[in-house]
Amino acid sequence: MADHIIQDSETLIEKAARALYSIFGISLLPLLVAHLLWRGIKQPDYLQYWAERFFGMSVQRSPRGPQTSTAFPTNAGLSVMWIHAVSVGETRAAAPLIEQWLAKGDAHRVVLTHTTPTGRETGQNLFTRWLTMDTPRVVQRYLPYDLIWANAMFLAWAQPTLGVLMETELWPNLLAQARRRSIPVVLINARLSPRSAKRLQQFRWLSRPAIAHLTGIAAQTQADAQGFLAACSSAGLKNTAGVAPMVRMEVVGNMKFDIDVPQPMRDLGNQWRGMSGRRFIWLAASTRDDEETQIAQSWQKARGDGRLSAEHLLVVVPRHPQRFNRVVRLLESAGLTVQRRSSWNPHQACDVLVGDSLGEMFAYLQMSDLVFMGGSLPALGGQNPVEACAVGRPVFFGPNMFNFHQIARALRACGAGKEVRSTDEWIDQGCQLLNDAAAYAAARQAAQDFAQAHRGATLRTAKFLETILQAGR
């Protein structure tokens, strides 16, 4: 009786907490609209598909007027996996898992949701053949904001057999609605940085019940698994197995290691390298928050004191396409001669090449000699260094890699990556490495070995999902 009373009390508390959360979310609707309008000024794609974001449905124009689209025929015996990949990195990491699901047969379909336009565009490029079939087997949508009516309409439309969220996406209303509809939802490639763990603790009145609504968690590392276990147990959700009731936990590794470098991108990168005519090519990848200003200042300083010469080419690839024009202006204002990848004339001399193209990061990596990961000097959490390792490039990063803290630690330990405190230090250490052929070769080999040694998470994740499905049959 006592256990039953406690459970009822927890349910009432959970409902009250989510009610307050929902009211707060509704009060933010004007700000969400303003945010999309503001983002849309620089990136017009944010002005599209608002019906998906606010109402969980897609409206298509037809000769008879607007109508709600349906992805798949209902009640047709389909196995639909809904997978939420926020942006570019998550979409790429999910690609092998999606391909494995679709390979099971024509009855297997995928609803692929995103948060950012760049993630949606990446999905379009990766799954063109599945999206453009007469009867599409992959359908894309934006995941609606965590509003009760939007989640209800989205789930009623998608009718997934299985829901899959990636990394840290825990939305209280969405998970509660899925539980109400008996839709198993699994968090895969799950990670919990120190900052995320602190946030879970601060908002434990929402995050802990959300975790309890999951059917399974496939964690990247043992430390990540322990973080989720701690969140469960401190809420009184722990059972005799040490996890929340009905939540399966398994450590499977990081799916981002399983990405394959497309041969066309390797060929394109080699072509660019030949076109550049330079001996050394330095890549600043996925730069953010005007990091380019520091990079340009350090580059000019190194050129002035003779550490860098005309044989060295700087390539800067901003993380967000809406910043392409701004980055060009920043670099030019620092006195550098700049060309854009989209209009590159290799017969004209330049100091910096700005990568203003999407979907070609592997080609930029293949072109380079060494790589600096953007978003790691300001407190932004860094960007994924695994792709650089996959092509065998030594990686440099700043002290703020909290989104990839486990990977950064392992890279330092094996010699494939170096932490620097400034762009001046990046250039200093980069020059030392390039001037020592043996050390450079060792760093490249260490990067390739590191990427190869951690592969296999996608297969383990697929097996984990199959276990979830079989348990629910």
Percent of the chain with pLDDT over 90: 68
Residue-wise pLDDT tens digits, 268-305: 999 999 999 889 999 999 999 889 999 999 999 999 99
- Give residues with Cβ within 8 angstroms of 107, minimum separation 6: 77, 78, 79
In whole angstroms, give the CA distance from residue 242 to residue 64: 56
**Section 29-37 average pLDDT:** 94
Catalytic-role residue among 10, 14, 52, 90? 90
pLDDT score of 72: 61
Confidence at 155, pLDDT banded by 50, 70, 90 = very high
pLDDT score of 65: 41
With residue 113 as reference, give the H or E element that holds it.
Answer: strand 108-114
Q: How many CB atoms are closer than 10 A to CB 136?
A: 16
pLDDT at 161 over 70: yes
Range with the poorest average pLDDT among 87-96, 156-165, 464-473 = 464-473
- Give residues with Cβ within 8 angstroms of 182, minimum separation 6: none
Confidence at 70, pLDDT banded by 50, 70, 90 = low
In whole angstroms, give the CA distance from residue 414 to residue 420: 16
pLDDT score of 241: 44
pLDDT at 66 over 70: no
In whole angstroms, give the CA distance from residue 41 to residue 331: 23
Kindly state the tokens that stand for 405.
Answer: 């803290």
User: Does residue 259 contact residue 445 with C-beta atoms inside 8 Å?
Assistant: no
Between helices 172-180 and 148-158, what is the axis angle to 10°?
50
| Half-sphere exposure in the Cβ direction for 142 (13 Å, CA) | 22
DSSP 3-state of 461: helix
- Taking CA atoms, 42 is separated from 45, 148, 324, 360, in Å, by 9, 30, 10, 21
pLDDT at 11 over 90: no
Percent of the chain with pLDDT over 70: 90
pLDDT at 239 over 90: no
Residue written as token pair 């650089």: 388
pLDDT at 7 over 60: no
Residue written as token pair 């394109």: 268
pLDDT score of 353: 96
Higher pLDDT, 141 or 57: 141
pTM, to two decimals? 0.83
In whole angstroms, give the CA distance from residue 285 to residue 319: 7
Backbone torsions φ then ψ of 287, nearest 5 degrees: -70, 150
Beta bridge partners of 404: none
Confidence at 234, pLDDT banded by 50, 70, 90 = low
User: Does residue 314 contact residue 339 with C-beta atoms inside 8 Å?
Assistant: no
pLDDT score of 152: 94
pLDDT score of 316: 97
pLDDT score of 258: 92
Q: Does residue 311 have an active-site annotation? A: no
Range with the poorest average pLDDT among 190-199, 318-327, 359-368 = 190-199
Beta bridge partners of 216: 186, 248
Residue-wise pLDDT tens digits, 298-341: 999 999 999 999 899 999 999 988 899 999 999 999 999 999 99
Confidence at 73, pLDDT banded by 50, 70, 90 = low
pLDDT at 461 over 90: yes
**Section 181-191 average pLDDT:** 94
String of DSSP letters for 212-266: HT-SEEEESSHHHHHHHHHHHHTTT---TTSS-TT-EEEE---GGGGPPPPHHHH
pLDDT score of 238: 47
pLDDT at 14 over 80: no
Instruction: Using alpha carbons, select from 179, 346, 329 the residue that is nearest to residue 276.
Output: 346
Higher pLDDT, 254 or 238: 254
pLDDT at 394 over 90: yes
pLDDT score of 457: 95
Average pLDDT taken over every residue of the chain: 88
pLDDT at 384 over 80: yes
- Give residues with Cβ within 8 angstroms of 319, minimum separation 6: 286, 287, 288, 374, 375, 383
Residue-wise pLDDT tens digits, 400-423: 998 888 899 999 999 999 999 999
